[in-house]
Structure 1
Amino acid sequence: MGLCHADGRGSRVERLGQMPEYKATRSLGGKRWTSRRIAWAATAWRLRAGVGGVDDLRRNLPPSPFPALPIIGHLYLFKKPLYRTLSKISNRYGPVLLLQFGARPVLIVTSPTAAEECLTANDVVFANRPRLLAGKHLGYNFTSLSWAPYGDHWRSLRRISSLEILSSHRLQMLSHIRADEVRSLVRRLLRSRPDQTVEMKSLLFELTLNVMMRMIAGKRYYGESLAEVEEARRFREIVRKTFSLGATTSVSDFVPLMRCFGGKEYEKSLIELQRDRDGFMQNLIEEHRKRATSNCGSCSLQEDKNKTMIEVLLSLQESEPEFYKDEIIRGLMAVLLAAGIDTSSGTMEWAMSLLLNHPEVLKKAHIELENCVGNERLVEESDLKNLPYLHCILKETLRLYPAGTLLVPHESSDECKVSGFNIPRGTMLFVNLWAMQRDPKLWDDPTTFKPERFKDMEEGMRDGYKLMPFGSGRRGCPGENLAVRIVELTLGLLIQCFEWERVGKELVDMTEGPGLTMPKAHPLQAKCRPRPTMANILSQI
């Protein structure tokens, strides 16, 4: 706090050199800048701009590291991964921190109390999303479910997703899709040799994509039985581009001046991707529309229960064409694909990696499956409620390796107070979930994988505001129920059907890679062989 709100500006500069992050020289604008040059340049700018310690105290803003440089603010402090850097800064300045990401003020929260205040008392204020380039070009000019500002339009989209697409009733009707795809994965693994190394990342990614696309459009684009090979190839290329761009951060979102120095390439890539993605999804809509016209009046009750998401939305379009436009349907399709694939497949990869590194946990999970399900049939979704230890494994995986390390960013629509500090309007909010879920003040032995820590807790993925991997409040993830079903069913079948071991004696590398959903730096490779006790049932798959 002393460095953040010192009364004299000169004392700040004198003490600046004592801070580790400023001892090294840095290269800015092609020049070598020492910590003294950075300090004096920042001080001169802040004097001219009228911002600084005394002014911050008067305005009662949260603590903020000094200096915030002209144009770039605190961006010079950041190293990848961002959640680790922000955690270190928060450890120094406190659990409520105000940074300057270029031109954007950003609130960093790393305590459950402050997170609860943001997502309950100030839930409406923080219910907006920041206006970033991805939201403009991939979010249909900020009108899709993920990017729309809080209001009537967003509430309508949320209602559609919760009641028509992701409701428990709809998910139950489509449970056969998830069962089919997980069994298809089991068949692929059965074809591998016992001594063969299996690359799990791609298998789990393809599984999740097939589940989502069958729910959305009734088609699968990976693995066996592909009806339209060229269409599948085109879809896979769109997916590759989507996740490649998703792992990129555009500095021009925070420093608009950068668009004059090459920042436009990122925007061009977004526009090109959206054109390809939009055309592909529109073709699927037209295909469903033609099919519905040719089959008019011949739909049976069973077929009605198995309607894809596109079919459901097209039927709603007939009654409310002014709202359920094709663009709305394409937007909902894009949100499901972007939010539901990499997150679920990544979580399964982390979970399997943890189980391989902790064979005693893997053994305990198998014993639970044997006691609950046995060896004469495969585990089903209806069994999941009777597998509490499997649920604890997922919960502990999401604690250590949350797909949304900083949650999806929020933005304040008005001034508010958090932990007694004034938060300006237009401030981005990052809740550092990764830091909270590994905080030794909140968790015993926080970096150790211990599913047992959740054995006496309630069902669900929440533990107050110190564990909330799917977010909270109005902008909480509506697909939580679907994600849990996919992940637990897949893990259950993999554990029930196969004996697993690491490729070598070394532990699986748990290094985190770059990206928005915290992927593994090194894709998981493992060896598996069918369990002898499951030989009879596996021969019938």
Structure 2
Amino acid sequence: MEEATILYSSLSFLLLLFCLIFLFQSKNHPKNLPPSPPNSLPIIGHLHLLKPPIHRFYQTLSQKYGPIFSLKLGSRLLVVVSSSTLAEECFTKNDIVLANRPKLIIGKHLGYNYTTVGAAPYGDHWRNLRRIGAIEIFSSSRLNTFTSVRKDEIRRLLLKLSRDCHQGDQFAKVEMKSMLSGLTFNNIMRMVAGKRYYGDEVTNEAEAREYKELITEAFKNGGAANPGDFLPILNWFGQGYEKKVKKLGKRMDGFLQKLIDEHRRQENNNNSMIDHLLSLQKSEPHYYTDEIIKGFILVS
């Protein structure tokens, strides 16, 4: 009898909690939203409709509801734009309104508590990060200094393709996905830290293995993979995902800090992105902190 009473009390509490959340969401629901599928459910919204591949699902909805439509994904509102004209308007007239990013759990632990350029809310800090990125990292002059790196990586890829695509007098199939992925990451890491982690002539085998593991984990635990980011109540019943992401964040931070410390000991002698930011850190340490440098490595 006592167990039944506890069970009924728990169910009643959960039902009341769900009702309160639903009423709160309804009260705070924005007005004048773009068209939306009518079959939205309490609490979960349109989450039950999602199915992979997600881009084709959005394309199907755009054919029915037009070039801009909205979906309610749990506690979050999603607006999908599939028109180049509307997308241009989003990034020009309404760029400040749409500048904020959703606060996902991965941004807390992997994005240094929402302080990286990819996770920070719009404001003075974000504008400072954008200035650093536009002038010191992604400007044409900075990118042109790494032209030789990109040329060398393409040359290496072409040589590998030339070797691998022939078997005697016969042409052979070549798996391009991993090769192009390796090309991309080698380009990035050679520009960022002067290191090769994929293919032949890897700079440091153990370091490369750690980097690949971290990148794989980071992609696997992206924000869309966590239901608790859309239904926060789920985080009350299990914190396995957050514990895993928190551990990943500490490992990633340790790896990036080792890169920075190594370049600091070498006194910036290979003109990588880390070296350039460390040289700026000497004159403006309050702008170019280690944490900000690590944040830029993450989004590069």
Question: 1:240 corresponds to which residue?
Answer: 216
Alignment of 1:158 onto 2:130: yes
Is 1:142 aligned with 2:114? yes
Counterpart position of 2:236: 260
Partner of 1:324: 288
Moved more, 310-319 or 167-176: 167-176
Q: 1:204 aligns with which of 177, 180, 193?
A: 180
Q: 1:310 aligns with which of 255, 274, 292?
A: 274
> Closer, same or farther in 2 for the Cα pair 1:232/1:51, shift >3 Å?
closer
2-structure distance, mates of 1:238, 1:50: 38
Q: Provide TM-score, normalisation by structure 2.
A: 0.83
Whichever of the two has the greater Rg, that structure is 1
User: Who is 2:7 aligned against?
Assistant: none
How far did 1:65 drift? Answer: 2.4
Taking the aligned partners of 2:152 and 2:260, their CA distance within structure 1 comes to 24
Structure 2: runs of 5+ lacking an equivalent: 1-18
Q: Residue 73 of structure 1: CA displacement? A: 0.9
The change in CA–CA distance for 1:247 and 1:158 in structure 2 (over 3 A counts) is: closer
| In structure 2, C-alpha distance between the alignment counterparts of 1:168 and 1:258, rounded to whole Å | 45
C-alpha displacement at 1:98, in angstroms? 2.7
Residue pair 2:106, 2:221 contacting (<8 A) in 1 also: no
**In structure 2, what is the equivalent of residue 168 of structure 1?**
140
Q: Does 1:74 align with 2:49?
A: no
User: Could you tell me how far apart the structure 1 residues matched to 2:25 and 2:283 are?
Assistant: 55
> With structure 1 as the length reference, what TM-score do the two structures score?
0.48
Asked if 1:181 corresponds to 2:131, the answer is no
* Pairwise CA distance, 1:234: 1.6
Query: 1:201 Cα deviation (Å)?
Result: 1.1
Q: CA deviation at 1:82?
A: 2.0
1:212-291 alignment to 2 at 5 Å? 212-246=188-222, 249-262=225-238, 264-291=239-266
Distance 1:223 1:107, change over 3 A: closer
| 1:138 counterpart letter in structure 2 | L
**Where in structure 2 are the equivalents of 1:79-478 lying within 5 Å?**
79-192=51-164, 193-194=166-167, 195-246=171-222, 249-262=225-238, 264-292=239-267, 307-336=271-300
Between structures 1 and 2, the one with greater helix share: 2
Change (3 A) 1:159 1:190: same
Regions of 4+ moved over 6 Å: none
- The alpha-carbon distance between structure 1 residues 50 and 315, as it changes in their structure 2 partners (threshold 3 A), is closer
CA change 1:96–1:269 in 2 (3 A) is same
SS at match of 2:80: strand
Q: How many residues are matched?
A: 275
Task: Kindly indicate whether structure 1 or structure 2 has the higher relative contact order, using CA contacts under 8 Å at least 6 residues apart.
Answer: 1
Q: Spell out, residue by residue over 1:287-335, the C-alpha distance to the aligned partner (whole angstroms, 9 max, x if none).
A: 111111xx8xxxxxxx6xx610000000110011112110000000011
Q: Which runs of 5+ in 1 are unaligned?
A: 1-44, 296-302, 337-541
Deviation at 1:117, TM superposition (A): 3.1
How much has 1:268 moved relative to structure 2?
A: 2.0
State the percentage of identical aligned residues: 49
Shift of 1:64: 2.7
CA shift in 2, pair 1:257/1:198, >3 Å: same
**AA aligned opposite 2:163:** R
Cα deviation for residue 141 of structure 1 reads 1.0
Superposed CA RMSD in Å reads 2.5
- Offset at 1:139? 1.1
